Amino acid sequence: MPIGPNATASPNKSAILSIILISYVMIVLDISVVLTGLPKIHQELGFTDASLAWVQSAYTLTFGGLLLLGARAGDLLGRRRMFIVGMAIFTLASIAIGASQSSAWMLSWRAIQGLGSAVLAPSTLALLQTNFDEGEERVRAVSLYSAAAGVSATVGLIVGGLLADWLSWRVGFLINLPIGVAMILAARVYIPETNRRPGTFDIPGAITSTMGMSTLVYGFIRSAQSGWDGITIVTLIAAAVLLAAFVQIEWRAKQPILPLRLFSDIERSGAYAARVLYLGAMVGFFFFTTLYLQEVAGFRPAVTGLAFVPATMLHVPIAILVPRLIRRFGRNTILIVGMIIGIVAMAWLSRAGVGSGYWTAVALPMVLIGISQGLTLSPLTSSGVARVARDDAGAASGAVNVAHQMGSSVGLSILIAVAAIGSAGLSGADLTAYRVSRAFDAGTVLVVLALLIALMTIVPAARRQDVNQTEPAPVKSAA
């Protein structure tokens, strides 16, 4: 029997949380599951070395570029409805990718899969916000949500490597069919529909944001392949113009897909910026460590996947403990400690080179990476949706996810560009080791910048909020 919109029974909330977490795991898993299988995909589908990067970028760019439109669709058409639509698109695209016989077919369906994720992802976080009360209940739910994101990224690498070696990289996509169908049916039974809001879609905003982000990523990736020539510079200038046009459109739009009022709160603004920088470094960790393990250390795909286990050993228990740690030490302390640990881990990884031992050069800093993600992502997510009016829940969740995907795509493209600087004349394992080391140096800088932003924006705002919470918090009016 479907549950009504005002249902709040604990068993129903458990079911809702399970559906949200499983669905979000599917999204993040498909970002990383292909990485350890890239050599097999390269061979089977005839990708060139340059075009292989688009296996990842085709997904993350449509995902990140259309997230805001997907969030808006949830506000206007109902978040449960868009959850189901997004899951259906994602599942269909997964089957098509698993059946790919050419590089063009795969890239086309990876882009469509990104569209499905763009509709699905903001619906998951918005449904979490609207079904779990602000306070300890929502902190626990957000902590599990953040843990699911971090763990599934690493699990995707492990599963992808094992499947590529033992069965086929295609299985990682085909398995989404039964899971996707189950989530659609469960959503119809357990998740209450949200109220629809009258309004229109901000198509100009969606077009300029998607084109701006895509052009920006293309420019940085091209710089790594062709250098900083005239075309690269023009591309980056065009990206800046498109993104500036997007901001101008949102400023004037009556119903923008990204309400600029979200950035009126310094804590939320700082959380979005810090998330972009932090995720850029963390996605760089997965991408470049995979290259190092296979091309420098000589690991097979399956062994490469298993080599990421140290990154997950403490991530899950730390993420689960975050609500308790926040109650004891405060959100500021947990966030800052998590980022500092991330800085140490990235700097440690940058020392790995040809002949370095796995356990001392890779495994131990991996453990710190897992701890850092477990401590950092939940406070960043909470700050990204702090004090948001209920009507803006979808837009705020979209902004959090856009920041996440911008870090995944734009951040990674910046690391790729930095890694290529000064690598002329090197080849083979020496070339890969050099690029990996430079990328981790740049990743260290990104996390340092994220920490500085947190200290200047999130920490002061959160302290003021802690003081205000000594009294009952007033209900924020949507008016």
Tell me the C-alpha distance between 133 and 244, whole Å: 36
Q: Looking at residue 172, what is its pLDDT?
A: 83
**Cα–Cα distance, 476 to 208 (Å, whole number):** 32
pLDDT of 464 reads 65
Residue in this structure with the two tokens 């991408």, named with its chain if needed: 287
Q: Are 184 and 88 in contact (CB under 8 A)?
A: yes
Amino acid sitting at position 178: P
Tell me which H or E stretch contains 235.
helix 230-252
Q: pLDDT tens-digit profile of 215-270?
A: 887 888 777 777 788 888 999 999 999 999 998 998 888 878 778 888 888 888 89
Tell me the three state secondary structure of residue 147.
Answer: helix
The sign of the dihedral angle between the CA atoms of 340, 122, 305, 97 is negative
Contacts of 272 (CB under 8 A, 6+ apart): 263, 384, 399, 400, 402, 403
- Distance in angstroms (rounded) separating the CA atoms of residues 193 and 84: 11
Task: Name the H helices within 360-471.
Answer: 364-384, 393-406, 412-420, 428-453, 459-468
Among the listed residues 39, 309, 25, the one whose alpha carbon sits nearest the alpha carbon of residue 176:
25
Task: Report pLDDT for 49.
Answer: 54
In the chain, which residues have pLDDT < 70? 1-11, 48-53, 134, 149-150, 153-154, 194-199, 390-391, 394, 462-479
Q: Would you say 123 and 70 are in contact if contact means Cβ atoms under 8 Å apart?
A: yes
Instruction: Give the tens place of pLDDT for each residue, 4-58.
Output: 444 444 447 788 888 888 888 888 777 777 777 777 787 788 776 556 667 877 7
Q: What's the one-letter identity of residue 209?
A: S
CA distance 387 to 395: 13
pLDDT of residue 48: 60
Which amino acid is located at 139 in the chain? V
pLDDT at 80: 85
Which one-letter DSSP state was computed for residue 257? Answer: S
Question: Global pTM?
Answer: 0.77
CA–CA distance, 266 with 178 (Å, rounded to integer): 42
Residue 444 DSSP code: H
The label of the residue with tokens 């206007």 reads 76
| Rounded CA separation 278/406 (Å) | 11
Nearest to 152 by CA among 28, 286, 59: 28
Give the C-alpha separation, 428 to 479, whole Å: 61
Q: Exposed, middle or buried: residue 132 (CB in 10 Å: 0-12, 13-18, 19+)? A: buried
| Contacts of 163-171 spanning 24+ positions with Cβ under 8 A | 163/33, 163/37, 164/36, 164/37, 164/39, 164/40, 164/301, 164/302, 165/300, 165/301, 165/302, 166/302, 168/40, 169/34, 169/37, 169/40, 169/41, 170/97, 170/98, 170/99, 170/100, 171/98
Q: How far apart are CA 329 and CA 57, in angstroms?
A: 39
pLDDT of residue 275: 93
CB-count exposure of residue 195 (10 Å: 0-12, 13-18, 19+): exposed
pLDDT of residue 444: 96
Q: Report the half-sphere exposure of 48 (CA within 13 A, side-chain side).
A: 4
Q: Six-digit token pair at 350?
A: 């940058």
- Alpha-helical runs (H) found in 54-135: 54-77, 79-98, 103-131
Which pLDDT does position 278 carry in this prediction?
Answer: 94
